[in-house]
Amino acid sequence: MVLSPDSPTPDQETASIAIIGGGIGGLALAYRLAQAGRRITVYERGDRLGGLATFLPYDGVRVDRFYHTILSSDMSMQTLIRETGVADRLHFTATRQGFYDGGKLYPFNTPVDFALFPPLNFFQRFRLGLQIIYAQLERDADRMDRQPVEDWLVRVSGRGVYQKVWKPLLRAKFDSETADVPATYIWSRLRRMMATRQGVTSKEMMCYLEGGYYTLIEALAAACERLGVDIRLRTAIDEIVIADDGAPAGRVTGLKIGDQVVPYDAVISTLQSPLLASLIPGAPAAVRELLSRQEYLGVLCPLLILKERLTPYYVLNITDDSIPFTAVVETTNLIDPEHVGGHHLVYLPKYLAPDSALLGWSDDQVRAEWMKHFRRMFPAYEEANIRDFLVQRARYVEPLRPIGTTQDIPPIRLPVAGLYISNSVQVYPDLNNGESITTLASRTAALVLEDLAGMPARQPERAREEVAL
Ligand SMILES: Cc1cc2nc3c(=O)[nH]c(=O)nc-3n(C[C@H](O)[C@H](O)[C@H](O)COP(=O)(O)OP(=O)(O)OC[C@H]3O[C@@H](n4cnc5c(N)ncnc54)[C@H](O)[C@@H]3O)c2cc1C
């Protein structure tokens, strides 16, 4: 059936809302809006939900496509886990970090580790500790946003610590120059990581879900469906239809899917900003330009499936910049290998500009280059213990926010009436992760509900009762 923008909606009494994207952001939004009695359809172009946080089926089990941890301080995530009834599958584990420097592995977790960290001298270790304390005491995100990260780190930690500790950490996330990167980037990360510890002396606690991050995605989808949310897989949105109805920047009237136009009162996009820009030819040029100029990094992230443990660390940071990957993330030092078929999972990520040639490399090219360096780092690891090398890529992952450009962050309510955006660009100065994305989803849901206050909802109380678990 071909529907036109002014075809009647199936249920004229309640506003109909479309959410584009079935990742954790889209599902958390759908859940919060459906709890308030709103009529929601979620469109996901992939053949399964989860987006960046989805899984790969491997040898009869599900493994996270990209490494995903939930921190013990991630309250929005843990609330969703409880509400959707999977809290009994959440496990807390003390994790460890390390550094690979000059061919050796060093622990990097407790004040004792910092105090004994051989690549730094006594004075440098003291300054490193100062930087961590400073980050906890600093509360002014605007002040952090206005200074280059390198200036801030060198001023507090000194050049030596910067070269040995901070530069490798920055290299792990930024493909090229960091001159434009504000101090917020390390500041937010330090605050997030320290929040997983009670006091600086205690251990870092992280969590994982049995069945991977997808356990939450699946539970959220089930809770949404119980609330009447219509979830459509394998359905790519081709265009958000915008009519010039006298509203200053036009009004959303529906979605174009293939040769159909399905009418909606409101559309919320959870897509990365440049992807949304390409779906709104009817929006004012200024809106499309604002979305198109949001910058991101992509990631090339092979997953090694091993028969034996590689290191004792969840994350091993690498100071040697001749190695193409920037960390060794061994998630089975967090996840009990029994929950992933007895395999040991090691991710070897490299963050890259979306137009980097490396993102176009074949799997064989990536394997040859990555394994050359893997063998150099771990010469004693037996080849026979390597079961598989699975290459994963994503073009838009981590938003880049150049210094002093917060005014360029797109607002949740775009100028086009009925069009909303809820994506990782808007979580700044937080980083892109499940916690910040689901917190943003709650904020977006509140704004949409405020705007639709005049339009009747279904029976929210009944809907809430239905989902009580
Ligand atoms: C290597 C890596 C490590 C990470 N580690 C962690 C971690 O440890 N902890 C953590 O909390 N987070 C982590 N993250 C971040 C986390 O994955 C993201 O914050 C989260 O998945 C973002 O969810 P989202 O819904 O905003 O976006 P996405 O997951 O990108 O969802 C967007 C969805 O939209 C769909 N879509 C695109 N175009 C269309 C279209 N035209 N029509 C319909 N659908 C469309 C896509 O298929 C996708 O499913 C990591 C990410 C990566 C890449």
DSSP string, 86-131: -GGGEEEEEE-EEEEETTEEEE-SSHHHHHH-TTS-HHHHHHHHHH
Which H or E element spans position 336?
none
Sequence-separated (6 or more) residues with CB below 8 Å from residue 94: 203, 204, 205
| pLDDT value at residue 467 | 34
Query: H or E stretch including 406?
Result: none
Output the six-digit token pair for 25.
Answer: 């952001």
- Ligand 1 contact, 53 CB (< 6 A): yes
Could you give the C-alpha distances from 462 to 37, 46, 227, 263, in angstroms and in order? 8, 31, 9, 26
26: Cβ below 6 Å to ligand 1?
Answer: yes
Ligand 1 contacts CB of residue 394 (under 6 A):
yes
380 contacts: CB under 8 Å, gap ≥ 6: none
Instruction: Say if CB 457 and CB 14 are below 8 A apart.
Output: yes
- Count CB-CB contacts under 10 A for residue 5: 17
Ligand 1 pocket, 20 CB below 6 A? Answer: yes
Per-residue pLDDT at 14 = 73
- What are the counts of helices (DSSP H) followed by strands (DSSP E) for the chain? 15, 21
Domains with residue ranges and CATH for the chain: 16-54+214-294+410-467 (3.50.50.60), 97-204 (1.10.3110)
Sort 358 into a burial class: Cβ within 10 Å, 0-12 / 13-18 / 19+.
Answer: middle
What's the predicted TM-score (pTM) here?
0.92
Find the 167 Cα to ligand 1 centroid distance in Å: 26
DSSP character string of 348-370 = --EEE-TT-GGGG--HHHHHHHH
pLDDT at 13: 60
CB of 119 sitting under 6 A from ligand 1: no
In whole angstroms, give the CA distance from residue 69 to residue 64. Answer: 10
Q: How far apart are CA 411 and CA 447, in angstroms?
A: 11
Separation of CA 61 and ligand 1 centre (Å): 21
Residue 402 near residue 424 (C-beta atoms within 8 A): no
Q: Are 95 and 206 in contact (CB under 8 A)?
A: yes
Query: Which pLDDT belongs to residue 9?
Result: 43
> CB–CB of 382/303 below 8 Å?
no
pLDDT for position 198: 56
pLDDT of residue 247: 86
Residue nearest atom 1 of ligand 1, based on CA coordinates:
66
Instruction: Please classify residue 143 by burial: count the beta carbons closer than 10 Å to its beta carbon, then call 0-12 exposed, 13-18 middle and 19+ buried.
Output: middle
Q: What is the pLDDT of residue 143?
A: 93
H-helix or E-strand spanning residue 157: helix 149-157
Rounded (10°) angle between helices 214-226 and 460-467: 140
pLDDT for the residue 385: 98
What is the spatial distance between Cα 100 and Cα 319, in angstroms, rounded to a whole number? 6
Question: pLDDT tens track of the chain, all 469 residues?
Answer: 233 333 334 445 678 999 999 999 999 999 999 999 999 999 999 999 999 999 999 999 999 999 999 998 899 999 999 999 999 999 999 999 999 999 999 998 877 787 788 889 999 999 998 898 889 899 999 999 999 999 999 999 999 999 999 998 898 888 777 889 999 999 998 888 777 765 555 677 899 999 999 999 999 999 999 999 999 999 999 999 999 988 899 999 999 999 999 999 999 999 999 999 999 999 999 999 999 999 999 999 999 999 999 999 999 999 898 999 999 999 999 999 999 999 999 999 999 999 999 999 999 999 999 999 999 999 999 999 999 999 999 999 999 999 999 999 999 999 999 999 999 999 999 999 999 999 999 999 999 999 999 777 765 444 443 433 3
- Smallest Cα–Cα separation from 68: which of 263, 378, 347? 347
